[in-house]
Structure 1
Amino acid sequence: MSADRQYAVASILFDYVKSPSLRHLRDPHSVQKVSREIVKALDGASSVWKKWEGQREEVAQAAAPCWIPIEDLQAFLNTLPGPPLTKTDVEQRLRAIWEEPHTNYPKDKLKDGCVAVYQTEKVHGTEMRAIIGALQEHIEREEERLRHEQEQSYRRWREEERVKLEQRFHSGADCGWTQIEKSEAFYCRRNGRAFRIAQGKDQRWTLYRVQEIDDKGELLGTYQGRGDANKALKKIAYAPEPER
């Protein structure tokens, strides 16, 4: 790598790590942005996209996920310095951006919202670069909302599965490990036999054979991890009952 190219990459990285926020540094969008800046610095004049330098490239990168009508984007880009762009120029440059590593096509579920924001801002006379900024903020909010909804849905599913397992345990059916009424310990049934496992302050797991939930139980062993306890349980649960 030449000294000039190395200096260009180093300058981009130095600017990036100046951020005091670890969340910003680890944010996928921020990483993608700095990656694109590095690639652009390395490609330089060797780029096959001859019409896409300076402001045009920056606008295309920003507009790529925003569901902006191609004709409107083309018209705006042609107001910026550079040779005239055809509709195909714009369509294919966007497609190339979407197919770059760590970049995705615009999300279908965000299309209607983006189009609504775009049309509203266009009617108000907002200039294109400001509309793109508003769309980026809209997408960030919507993606955060969708992530929150997915997390809530996953939590509901986990709780529903826990309740199903708890009901199976109480019914006497075999079931995997579950917390009973959100207890710290976990309970399961194997081969009709009930077991409890709990983690101690030393982070080790202690396995018991129990008859009832509140039963102190019979100590079966202490294990480094739950995986080790599960391996032992496969044999213990199907071993002959001791003579009494």
Structure 2
Amino acid sequence: MFEYVKSPSLRHLRDPNSIHKLAREIVQALDGASSIWKKWDRSREEVVKAAAPCWIPIEHLRALLNTLPGPSLTKTDVEQRLRAIWEEPYTTYPNDELKEGCLALYRSEEIQGTEMRAIIGALQEHIEREEDRLRREREENWRRLKADERAKLEQRFSSGADCGWTKIEKSEALYCRRNGRAFRIVQGKDKRWTLHRVEDVSDKGEMLGTYLGRREANKALEKMAYAPEPRR
């Protein structure tokens, strides 16, 4: 409880995942004596939970755990305790994308003679950095994909092909083409959307209606786009 309330973040203190984790730790502390995992005291639990996401070879982890007080652990003991940890709520299996890098770092530190608990800490830091890098790469790939999609839509509109709503260059309005007809929609200060029939981007166009949301405008557009053209 003391560690939990030390957090300077009210958002963290109120986060359901954080509260659930605290409750689970309290229950585990109170229920330790009746736990079905008889070979696992507090020190072993701390180590195996720290090692759970780190891709440490099982036999090496077992050797470390067996240096701690308690009955001798078999390979199956360690494997199944890890599996139980990975399957707990708000916990995941180790990230496959990080396996190769974790094992390389582990081997490097082992060769240098770094003790296992320090290696686990180094692996935790490595995983945090790599997960942050992967997150940024996914975000960048997503932005690149969206930019490519916008460019293709803009090209389709400019070429006269039917396409969904898209911005043209840096316009505030959105443009689309249905049934060979071009339309523009823009949101006003009152949050309503105004729909226009246009000939091209520079055309002020003919106002077709004002709508509370894009969904209502799209429903109206489905009919307008295929309605007979008015005679001139």
TM superposition score normalised by structure 1: 0.87
Amino acid in structure 1 at the alignment position of 2:162: D
Pick from 148, 164, 174: which aligns with 1:186? 174
Output the CA distance in 1 between the equivalents of 2:96 and 2:15.
Answer: 22
Residues 172-216 of structure 1, C-alpha deviation per residue, up to 9 Å, x if partnerless? 111000011132111000111100011112221111111110111
- C-alpha change, 1:90 and 1:29, in structure 2 (3 Å) is farther
Partner of 1:165: 153
Structure 2: runs of 5 or more not aligned = none
Structure 1: runs of 5 or more not aligned = 1-10
Partner of 1:103: 91
Partner of 2:57: 69
Partner of 1:237: 225
Output the CA distance in 1 between the equivalents of 2:28 and 2:192.
Answer: 52
Output the CA distance in 2 between the equivalents of 1:188 and 1:55.
Answer: 63
Identity of aligned residues (%): 75
The farther-off stretch of 28-37 and 147-156 is 28-37
Pick from 46, 50, 53: which aligns with 1:58? 46
Residues 12-31 of structure 1, C-alpha deviation per residue, up to 9 Å, x if partnerless? xx742541236756889967
Output the CA distance in 1 between the equivalents of 2:27 and 2:231.
Answer: 73
Output the CA distance in 2 between the equivalents of 1:22 and 1:159.
Answer: 36
The farther-off stretch of 169-178 and 119-128 is 119-128
Task: For 1:30-179, list aligned pairs within 5 A.
Answer: 33-34=21-22, 36-41=24-29, 43-179=31-167
Amino acid in structure 2 at the alignment position of 1:51: K
Amino acid in structure 2 at the alignment position of 1:138: H
Alpha carbons 1:32, 1:103 under 8 Å: kept:
no
Partner of 1:200: 188
Pick from 190, 209, 214: which aligns with 1:226? 214
Output the CA distance in 2 between the equivalents of 1:26 and 1:159.
Answer: 37
Partner of 1:210: 198
Output the CA distance in 2 between the equivalents of 1:242 and 1:42.
Answer: 79
TM superposition shift of 1:142: 0.4
TM superposition score normalised by structure 2: 0.91
Amino acid in structure 1 at the alignment position of 2:123: L
TM superposition shift of 1:33: 5.0
- C-alpha change, 1:235 and 1:214, in structure 2 (3 Å) is same
| 3-state SS, counterpart of residue 169 of structure 2 | helix
| 3-state SS, counterpart of residue 184 of structure 2 | strand
- C-alpha change, 1:75 and 1:28, in structure 2 (3 Å) is farther
Counterpart check, 1:16 vs 2:16: no
Number of aligned positions between the proteins: 232
Q: How much is the aligned-residue C-alpha RMSD, in angstroms?
A: 2.2
- C-alpha change, 1:168 and 1:59, in structure 2 (3 Å) is same
| 3-state SS, counterpart of residue 96 of structure 1 | helix
Output the CA distance in 1 between the equivalents of 2:57 and 2:27.
Answer: 27
Partner of 1:8: none
